[in-house]
Structure 1
Amino acid sequence: MLNTIIQYTLYLVILILLAIPLGIYIGKVMDGEKVLLTKLVAPFEKLIYRILHIDREDDMSWKRYAACILWISGVSFVVLFIMLMLQGFLPLNPAKVKGMSWHLAFNTAISFITNTNWQAYSGETGASYFTQMIGLTVQNFVSAAVGIAVLFAVIRGFIRTKKDKIGNFFVDFTRIILYILIPMSVIVSIFIVSQGVVQNFHTYETVKLVEPITLEDGTVVTEEMVPMGPAASQIAIKQLGTNGGGFFGTNSAFPLENPTALSNLIEMLSILLIPAALCFTFGRNVKDAKQGRAIFAAMFTVLVIALISVAVSEQFGTKQLENGGSVNLSAVSQAGGNMEGKEARFGMASSNTWSVFTTAASNGSVNAMLDSYTPLGGMVLMLLMQLGEVIFGGVGCGLYGMLGFAILTVFIAGLMVGRTPEYLGKKIEPFEMKMGVLACLATPVAILIGSGIAAAIPSIVDSLNNTGAHGFSELLYTYSSAGGNNGSAFAGFAADKLFINVSLGLCMLFARFAPMLAMLAAAGSLAKKKKVAATSGTLSTSNFMFVGLLIFVILLIGALSFFPALALGPIAEHLKMIG
Structure 2
Amino acid sequence: MSSTAAGLVQVGVLLVALAVVHRPFGDYMARVYTSAGHSRVERAVYRVARVDPESGQRWGTYARGVIAFSFVGVVLLYVLQRIQSVLPFDFDRGAVPPGVAFNTAISFVTNTNWQSYVPESVMGHTVQMVGLTVQNFVSGAVGMAVAVALVRGFVRHRTDRLGNFWVDLVRGTIRILLPVAFLFAVVLVATGVVMSLKSGVTVDGRQVATAPVASQEAIKELGTNGGGVLNANSAHPFENPNGWSNLIEVFLILVIPVSLTRTFGTLVGDRRQGYVLLGVMGTLWSLVLAVIWVAEAHGLRPSEGKETRFGVPSSALFANSTTGTSTGAVNSMHDSYTGLGGGGAMLNMLFGEMTPGGVGTGLYSILVMAVIAMFLAGLMVGRTPEYLGKKLGRREVTAAAVSILAMPTVLLVGAGTAALLPSTKGALNNPGEHGLSEILYAYASASNNNGSAFAGITVTSDWFQASLGVCMALGRFIPIIAVLCLAGSLAAQKKVPETAGTLPTTGPLFATLLGGSIVLVAALTFVPALALGPIAEALL
Coarse TM-score class (shorter-chain normalised): over 0.9
Instruction: Give the aligned partner of residue 518 of structure 2.
Output: 554
Instruction: Give the aligned partner of residue 563 of structure 1.
Output: 527
Distance (Å, rounded) in 2 between the aligned partners of 1:309 and 1:200: 39
**CA separation of 1:19/1:420 partners in 2, compared to 1, >3 Å: closer, same or farther?**
same
1:207 aligns with 2:171: no
Instruction: Give the aligned partner of residue 148 of structure 1.
Output: 144
Instruction: Give the aligned partner of residue 197 of structure 1.
Output: 193
Could you tell me whether the CA contact under 8 Å between 2:427 and 2:459 is conserved in 1? Answer: no
- The aligned length equals 537
Instruction: Give the aligned partner of residue 362 of structure 1.
Output: 326
Distance (Å, rounded) in 2 between the aligned partners of 1:245 and 1:2: 31
Instruction: Give the aligned partner of residue 229 of structure 1.
Output: 211
Structure with higher Rg: it is 1
Q: Relative to structure 2, which stretch is displaced further, 448-457 or 45-54?
A: 45-54
Q: Deviations over 1:278-316 (max 9, x none)?
A: 011000001110111111111111001111111111111
Amino acid at match of 2:459: A
Distance (Å, rounded) in 2 between the aligned partners of 1:226 and 1:242: 27
Amino acid at match of 1:28: R
Amino acid at match of 1:61: R
Amino acid at match of 1:59: G
Distance (Å, rounded) in 1 between the aligned partners of 2:82 and 2:48: 31
Cα deviation, residue 196, structure 1:
1.8
Q: Secondary structure at the match of 1:206?
A: strand
RMSD: 1.3
Alignment gaps of 5+ in structure 1: 35-40, 209-222, 322-337
Instruction: Give the aligned partner of residue 88 of structure 1.
Output: 85
Q: Secondary structure at the match of 1:466?
A: coil
Amino acid at match of 2:113: N
Could you tell me whether the CA contact under 8 Å between 2:7 and 2:314 is conserved in 1? Answer: no
Instruction: Give the aligned partner of residue 94 of structure 2.
Output: 98
Distance (Å, rounded) in 1 between the aligned partners of 2:292 and 2:224: 21
Q: Deviations over 1:540-574 (max 9, x none)?
A: 11110111111111111111111111111111111
1:114-513 alignment to 2 at 5 Å?
Answer: 114-208=110-204, 223-318=205-300, 321=301, 338-513=302-477
Percent of pairs identical after alignment?
Answer: 46
Distance (Å, rounded) in 2 between the aligned partners of 1:225 and 1:181: 34
Distance (Å, rounded) in 1 between the aligned partners of 2:48 and 2:76: 21
Could you tell me whether the CA contact under 8 Å between 1:443 and 1:511 is conserved in 2? Answer: yes
Instruction: Give the aligned partner of residue 9 of structure 1.
Output: 12
Distance (Å, rounded) in 1 between the aligned partners of 2:511 and 2:492: 27
Cα deviation, residue 535, structure 1:
0.9
Instruction: Give the aligned partner of residue 49 of structure 1.
Output: 46
Q: Relative to structure 2, which stretch is displaced further, 292-301 or 8-17?
A: 8-17
Instruction: Give the aligned partner of residue 23 of structure 2.
Output: 20
Instruction: Give the aligned partner of residue 76 of structure 1.
Output: 73
Q: Deviations over 1:333-389 (max 9, x none)?
A: xxxxx1111111122211110000000000010001111111101001001101111
Amino acid at match of 1:530: K
Could you tell me whether the CA contact under 8 Å between 1:16 and 1:276 is conserved in 2? Answer: no
Could you tell me whether the CA contact under 8 Å between 2:257 and 2:359 is conserved in 1? Answer: yes
Would you identify which runs of 4 or more consecutive aligned residues in structure 1 move more than 3 Å?
1-4
1:31 aligns with 2:28: no
Cα deviation, residue 89, structure 1:
2.3
Cα deviation, residue 432, structure 1:
0.5
Could you tell me whether the CA contact under 8 Å between 1:451 and 1:475 is conserved in 2? Answer: yes
1:66 aligns with 2:68: no
Could you tell me whether the CA contact under 8 Å between 2:10 and 2:247 is conserved in 1? Answer: no
Normalising to structure 1: TM-score of the pair?
A: 0.91
Cα deviation, residue 471, structure 1:
1.0
Q: Secondary structure at the match of 2:203?
A: strand
Amino acid at match of 2:377: A
Distance (Å, rounded) in 1 between the aligned partners of 2:258 and 2:234: 21
Q: Relative to structure 2, which stretch is displaced further, 2-11 or 120-129?
A: 2-11
Instruction: Give the aligned partner of residue 220 of structure 1.
Output: none
Amino acid at match of 2:514: L
Q: Deviations over 1:507-527 (max 9, x none)?
A: 011110011100100100110
